[in-house]
Amino acid sequence: MSSVYINDIQKFMPNEPVFNDEIEEYLGCIAGKKSKVKNIVLRSNGIQRRFYVLEKGTQKPLFTNAQLCSNAIKKLEKEDFSLKDIECLACGTTSPDQLMPGHTLMVQGELGISSIETVSASGICLSGVNALKYVYYGIKSGEISKAVSCGSEASSPILSAKNFTEESIIKLDELEKNSSIAFEKDFLRWMLSDGAGAMRVENQPNKDKISLKIEFIDMLSYAGEMPVCMYSGLKVFEDNSVQSWRAYEQKDVMQDSLLSVQQNVKLLNENIVEYTVVKPLKEILEKRDLKSSDYNYFLPHFSSMYFKDKLYEGLKKANFEIPYEKWFTNLTQFGNTGSASIYIILEELFHSNKLVKGDKILCYIPESGRFSTAFISLEVV
């Protein structure tokens, strides 16, 4: 089996940073009214700025999702690596530009490269990790030697006010009484950001600079025992049964904003730590001989700083406590970019000049769609 190395990581963030007081100038106001949810959510999530593909004031997209990816991938080109070297391209996203063809094919078209293997990973936050694991398997098995994986999101067009109706507006007094209630669609408008990250993955490490050797990528899903929590294109009923948007008339799809992104925040808060930290980590620890003290950096992807302390308690419950001084995240500066988040976090650390050979990194990527998680172990070589 071949060893697998991440030899470069690049990101592409569209347009200028969008600060908290500017958000509705990009996303617009639902029913012409300022959101009552916005300030409550922003106080909780701690995000100070984010990036959107939308043009300020017009809600017009200036980049497609495929263009976000292609721009990040083009930055991987160096003297020792050309786009023509790519044998396999794997891209994961929650928000492809179209239902078909596959997202990666559109990225490949933007890049103008041919005769390569492609795979499109769907899902939510784990889709970017799924893309990485596909090329990891390909290189480890010896089938390919040079590949690129990518995670990206273009969520802001989905969050644009034109996609919502007045039924999305939530009563402020309910929110103030309980910040954990399921305020669904409007809640996510202040949580998500756009961007893309790309990794150059190969069977040989860099000769004159650091690489990240992938020790393992462990992914576990609990969809067999947990209901849908984050979704788009579904109607979810009180008994947790679901109905596809395809079963509804077009007017009902629009009236009920069935294509908007929604989240059952109460279900999320009650289960996210147990089903994406405690339970899977205990299973991984039974499988692998891991010690928390072996890791120099812990890179968590979480949607909100609200979950930071809860995640820490979850690590302790799993007997894998990692002190805060080892944590590294850039959520407050880049927002929650979903499947791109771990790429964007790793990109900053990789180029920070902080890493030295022998350092070990543990990445944690949860997905609330139906409660899945991934842990990635890396060693600096």
The verdict on 350 and 201 lying in the same domain is no
Domain end, chosen from 175, 207, 239, is at 207
Dist. CA 230–CA 34, nearest whole Å = 24
Please classify residue 251 by burial: count the beta carbons closer than 10 Å to its beta carbon, then call 0-12 exposed, 13-18 middle and 19+ buried. exposed
Pick from 50, 260, 6: which is nearest to 157 by CA?
260
The region, left, alpha or beta by phi > 0 then psi within -120 to 50, assigned to residue 32 is left
Confidence of residue 170 (pLDDT cuts 50, 70, 90): very low
Can you read off the two tokens belonging to residue 77? 């080109």
In the numeric block, which tokens belong to residue 91?
A: 């891209």
- Do 152 and 67 have their domain in common? yes
Statement to judge: residues 278 and 344 lie in one domain = yes
C-alpha gyration radius of the chain: 20
User: Is the domain of 191 the same as that of 317?
Assistant: no
Q: Is residue 246 part of a domain?
A: no
Lowest mean per-residue pLDDT among 34-48, 273-287, 300-314: 34-48
Q: Structure pTM? A: 0.94
**Helices marked H in 82-146 — which ranges?**
103-111, 127-140
Report yes or no: 93 and 126 within 8 Å, Cβ to Cβ.
no
Count how many domains the chain has: 2
**One domain, residues 17 and 113:** yes
In a domain, 52, yes or no: yes
**Which CATH number goes with the domain that contains 60?**
3.40.47.10
Domain match, 28 and 164 both: yes
Type of residue found at 111: L
pLDDT in tens, 273-293: 999 999 999 999 999 999 999
Exposed, middle or buried: residue 276 (CB in 10 Å: 0-12, 13-18, 19+)?
buried
In a domain, 345, yes or no: yes
* 273 falls within a domain: yes
Measured N-to-C along each axis, helices 341-350 and 127-140 cross at an angle, to the nearest 10 degrees, of: 60
Band of residue 184 on the pLDDT scale cut at 50, 70, 90: low
CA 118-134-139 angle, to 5 degrees, is: 95
pLDDT tens digit sequence for 259-275: 888 888 889 999 999 99
- State the pLDDT confidence band at 130, using cuts at 50, 70 and 90: very high
Residue 244 within a domain: no
Co-location of 288 and 373 in the same domain: yes
What domain range includes position 298? Answer: 214-230+263-380
Residue 40 and residue 149 in one domain: yes
User: Does some domain include residue 288?
Assistant: yes
Asked whether residue 222 falls in the same domain as residue 160, the answer is no
